[in-house]
Amino acid sequence: MKTVLKTESKGIKKVLNTCTEPCSIEKGMRLIGGKWKGSIIYHLKDEPVRFNDLTRMIGGASKKMVDQRLKELESEGMVLRKVISDRPVAVTYELTDFGKTALSILDKLRIWSESHQI
């Protein structure tokens, strides 16, 4: 349903068909728009990556922040966590099929950003 902005006779503006819940853009941004989430998804695009390697790849994010974002992405079904060793604990992270669907969006964002020198 399209949102319409209508100007009434006295110049008062009224919105018709307002969204009563988050729109599709907002829902998508909640999944991939959190700080560092896009970078994490991008760095997992080719293969599973161990946690410490991932934090090195991202560079500017603390381990705590990367851990928090990975947990969010895991709970959203975008990232899969695999324990590869119990002693010492070693885990890898990889994209799920659902997580891989975000790659084309992120690649378009990367191209747009690079072409506008943002």
Please give the pLDDT value at position 1: 59
Tokens coding 5: 């902005």
Q: Where are the alpha helices (DSSP H) in the chain?
A: 24-32, 37-43, 51-58, 63-75, 97-100, 103-115
CA 82, 83, 85, 90 torsion: positive or negative? positive
Q: Which two tokens stand for residue 117?
A: 């020198």
Q: Domains along the chain?
A: 48-118 (1.10.10.10)
> 6-38: per-residue pLDDT in tens?
777 777 877 776 766 777 888 888 888 888 999
Q: Is the pTM above the cut of 0.85?
A: no
Model confidence pLDDT, tens digit, residues 45-56: 999 999 999 999
Residue 100: per-residue pLDDT: 97
Q: 118: pLDDT confidence band, cut at 50, 70 and 90?
A: low
Residue 114, Cβ neighbours under 10 Å: how many?
A: 9
